[in-house]
Amino acid sequence: MTVAMNDLSTVRPATRDFLGNEHKNFINGDWRPAIGGKTLAVIDPATGETVSRVADSDAADVNAAVGAARRAFEQRQWQQMKPAARERLLHRLADLMEANIDVLAELESIDNGKSVAVARAVDLPCAIDCLRFMAGMPSKLNGSTLKPSVPFLPDAELFAYANHVPVGVVGAIVPWNFPTLLLTWKIAPALAAGCTVVLKPAEETPLTALFVAKLATEAGFPPGVFNVVTGYGHTAGAAISSHPGIDKVTFTGSTEVGRLILQAATGNLKKVTLELGGKSPAIVMPDADLDIAIPGAASGIFFNHGQVCTAGSRLFVHKSRFDKVVEGIADIARNMKVGPGLHPDTDIGPLVSKVQQDRVCAYIASGRESGAEIIAGGDTPGGGGYFVNPTVFVNTRPDMKIVREEIFGPVLVASPYDDIEDVIAQANDTPYGLGASIWSRDVSMVHRLAPRIRAGTVWVNCHNVIDAALPFGGFKESGWGRENGIDAVKAFTETQTVVLSL
């Protein structure tokens, strides 16, 4: 079912004003056009129309931003700022984002295609929470004291301490599916640790990062501490991951690009955190409460139009309940309203770009050609935007592309299983290991099953539940390191040991 076109005349004047600007990079507290003079179009995926323009940066712009970040780091004004003062700045930025939440939600919706109501209720509050959670960390970033007993210095009186010092200049590269939320997952812990940052948003969704930069100036961040460079991955992104002046790259995106980042980082052996792709299983046990499991598993795949790294894209249902669960999810899919993000009735907005729409449609075609059966969706509603109807496949085989590869769209593949060993083997039969969900009322079974699923997060009777307090990241090819949780700040530090002979 489709609803009407995106209507930009309905957005707030502040949103319209922001869209109307030709945006520049934010470097050293100034707004600077790309040195090469190029710009790139920001497209509304609901209509395919250009709504704004941003700088199309390359290595020279990244170099300028890294220079500013390096100077801000070396001048030590930021590093030596009292922890409580750094905390206040992060809180101020969170407060400003909250004060501008409606504009940020509209920009996110127009830029990415997602429902403005979802951006307002999920993306932005979670982003603001992340800033507030990490704002509490600078004053709690304590090290340890140690009493060494060195065998070759039997008479020495020694004392030592180990401190967490900021790693330095951080390059942050983020994708388009949760542009504001994921930027806070990077900048909040990095700034809390005392690092300076060069952020590159995805070329498809640069607007909210630029808006946040504007708010950072208002909050009073010193120049150079937080910089934003917009542009493509193969130019601006690659310049960040290979730059010798960057000490750490924190990346969220595809596994394929994660490998390129890793290779580029070898030049100066920069530290790397990688949050990559997924093909997460949702496992419905024979005793599951289906009133919870059916809508829950549907939301696990269709939330954010399936463009979620932890999307529950592989559904495994015990054979005794398979038909009922799959028909229930297909029924939800058939009744979802597909439409523009600004429309209040929209359940599923457009995918982020034509490229993504074509990619997802090619996967659907491949599923059909390889013999899988479509019981909901499988097509697009037409029109100018990049929409794909929510789709459910059954009669799949484990070797099919739609079962093995990350589709990153509203496409579910469902398979029955016989017993617990069978479902563990099928759930783990993937190079990814980001998320998983188990739907069951049997607490003892859940505790036995969860540790056997090779995934960074296992949800029980829920899916895609994230929070700044919960460590998040992947096993296997889903990444390196963890974001969120109290240890996330430490990932932006080096441990420095100081040994004193008394």
Verify binding: residue 111, ligand NAD, rule CB under 6 A: no
Which residues does residue 501 pair with via DSSP β-bridges, in sequence order? 158
Judged by CB, which is closer to ligand NAD: 241, or 430?
A: 241
Interatomic CA distance for residues 184 and 212, integer angstroms: 10
Judged by CB, which is closer to ligand NAD: 11, or 412?
A: 412
Question: Which segment (32-40, 76-84, 200-208, 374-382) binds ligand NAD by CB under 6 A?
Answer: 200-208
Q: Are 378 and 360 in contact (CB under 8 A)?
A: no
Q: Is 320 exposed, middle or buried (0-12, 13-18, 19+ CB in 10 A)?
A: exposed
Q: Which of 309, 297, 319, 275 is nearest to 426 (CA)?
A: 319
**Which residues neighbour 172 within 8 Å (Cβ) at sequence distance 6 or greater?**
183, 186, 187, 190, 197, 198, 199, 200, 249, 250, 251
Show the binding pattern over residues 274-313: x = contacts ligand NAD (CB under 6 A), - = does not.
Answer: -xxxx------------------------------x----
Query: What phi, psi does 333 have (nearest 5°)?
Result: -60, -45
Verify binding: residue 15, ligand NAD, rule CB under 6 A: no
Q: Which of 202, 173, 204 is nearest to 353 (CA)?
A: 204
Judged by CB, which is closer to ligand NAD: 51, or 174?
A: 174
Q: Are 490 and 138 in contact (CB under 8 A)?
A: no
Phi-psi region of 418 (alpha: psi -120 to 50; beta: other; left: phi over 0): alpha
Question: Which segment (71-79, 168-176, 313-321, 323-331) binds ligand NAD by CB under 6 A?
Answer: 168-176
Element (H, E) at 11: none
Question: Which segment (139-147, 227-235, 316-324, 487-495) binds ligand NAD by CB under 6 A?
Answer: 227-235
Verify binding: residue 175, ligand NAD, rule CB under 6 A: yes
The least CB distance from residue 484 to ligand NAD, in Å, is 10
Size of the site for ligand NAD (CB under 6 A): 30
Verify binding: residue 481, ligand NAD, rule CB under 6 A: no
The least CB distance from residue 481 to ligand NAD, in Å, is 10
- Pick from 82, 234, 441, 448: which binds ligand NAD (CB under 6 A)? 234
The least CB distance from residue 179 to ligand NAD, in Å, is 9
Q: Are 369 and 286 in contact (CB under 8 A)?
A: no
Judged by CB, which is closer to ligand NAD: 107, or 229?
A: 229
Judged by CB, which is closer to ligand NAD: 255, or 426?
A: 255
Verify binding: residue 485, ligand NAD, rule CB under 6 A: no
Show the binding pattern over residues 414-453: x = contacts ligand NAD (CB under 6 A), - = does not.
Answer: --------------------x-------------------
Interatomic CA distance for residues 241 and 266, integer angstroms: 9
- Pick from 173, 209, 407, 413: which binds ligand NAD (CB under 6 A)? 173
Verify binding: residue 123, ligand NAD, rule CB under 6 A: no
Q: Which of 275, 406, 477, 483 is catalytic?
A: 275
Give catalytic status of residue 275 as yes or no. Answer: yes
- Pick from 26, 73, 133, 176: which binds ligand NAD (CB under 6 A)? 176
Give catalytic status of residue 361 as yes or no. Answer: no
Interatomic CA distance for residues 307 and 335, integer angstroms: 19
CA pseudo-torsion sign 288, 294, 296, 302: positive
CA dihedral 164, 167, 169, 174 (to 10 degrees): -100
Judged by CB, which is closer to ligand NAD: 28, or 310?
A: 310
Each residue of 468-484: b (16+ CB within 10 Å) or e? beeebbbebbbbebbbb
Which residues are identified as catalytic?
275, 309
Report the interface residues with ligand NAD, using CB under 6 A. 173-177, 200, 202-203, 232-234, 237-238, 241, 252-254, 257, 260-261, 275-278, 309, 406, 408, 434, 474, 479
